[in-house]
Amino acid sequence: MPSLQLFGCWRSSASHRLQIGLRLKQLAFTYTPVCLDRGEQHSGWYVALNPRAEVPTLLVDGEPWVQTLAILETLEETLDGQSDALLPSSKKERWICRAIAEHVNSSLQPLLLPARLRQPILNAGRHLGPTLAAALQTGVRHHQLDALDSLNSWLDSLPGPFCIGTRPTLADVFVIPHLEAARRLGLDLSPFTRLNALHIQCLSLAAFAAAAPEQQPDAPGQNETSSASTR
């Protein structure tokens, strides 16, 4: 098995995905926090691992891998039969899982408009004053609620209790961290009954419970250690 070192941040939904994926695959890894609030992602040692200054990065036998979808797909492919599968066996279900993961990866998570996207927009429209910040916030909330509504309907058309069927897949690995990020943003997700039932179902599994943001050593109130061996 490869040696795996995860560099992440407790409040990063992308780090959260990787945590869940590695745990579902029952792969042992160590965790090293990178504090986004202190800007540690821009420090020289970290940019040498991840030139985009983003978390997470996974060191695989000492080599830095980035982008959670690519990382999990490659582990799935290369450890075929040696670790628990994140993709179902049927071709159609594999496509659906990948489509849901991609929907979160490209249409939902980046459009939460993190500070590094929001700030240049606010700078460019400085003359508009607080109106622009309020408009951006409204736009983000509207887009997220609309996209989550369509995701909820999509999942309603699929067999549960997980995103697709009776086992967690790559789709759940991507959806659950986004639900938690949306809640941290203060969005009201109560109308999305399928998503809420899915969330409860996933949290009943040890892999999801142990990967929860508040369980990480760098979360507020936790006793931070630089590296925790985990599975």
Ligand X SMILES: N[C@@H](CCC(=O)N[C@@H](CS)C(=O)NCC(=O)O)C(=O)O
Give the binding site for ligand X (CB under 6 A): 12-14, 36, 41, 54-55, 67-69, 105, 114, 116
Cβ proximity to ligand X: between 60 and 161 the closer is: 60
- If phi > 0 it is left, if psi is from -120 to 50 it is alpha, else beta; for residue 64 that is beta
Using the minimum distance from each CB to ligand X, give the nearer residue, 105 or 144. 105
CB closer to ligand X, 5 vs 67: 67
Provide the minimum distance between the beta carbon of 160 and ligand X in the complex, in angstroms, as a whole number. 25
Q: Give 14 or 171: the residue with its C-beta nearer to ligand X.
A: 14
Q: Which two tokens stand for residue 218?
A: 């760098």
My answer on whether omega of the bond before 161 falls inside 30° of 0, hence cis, is yes
Q: Which is nearer to ligand X, 133 or 160 (CB)?
A: 133
**Nearest distance in Å: CB 170, ligand X:** 12
Of 201 and 218, CB closest to ligand X: 218
> Rounded to the nearest whole angstrom, what is the least distance from the CB of residue 155 to ligand X in the complex?
21
Q: Residue 161 CB, nearest distance to ligand X (Å)?
A: 25
13 or 19: whose CB is closer to ligand X? 13
In the complex, minimum distance from the CB of residue 81 to ligand X, in angstroms, rounded to a whole number: 25
**What is the DSSP track for the chain?**
---EEEEE-TT-HHHHHHHHHHHHTT--EEEEE--TTTTGGGSHHHHTT-TT--S-EEEETTEEEE-HHHHHHHHHHHTTTTS--SS-SSHHHHHHHHHHHHIIIIIISGGG--HHHHHHHHHHTGGGTHHHHHHHHHHHHHHHHHHHHHHHHHHHTS-SSBTTBSS--HHHHHHHHHHHHHHHTT---TT-HHHHHHHHHHHTSHHHHHH-GGGSTTSTTS---S-EEE-
Q: How far is the CB of 90 from ligand X (least distance, A)?
A: 25
Min separation Cβ 79 and ligand X, Å: 19
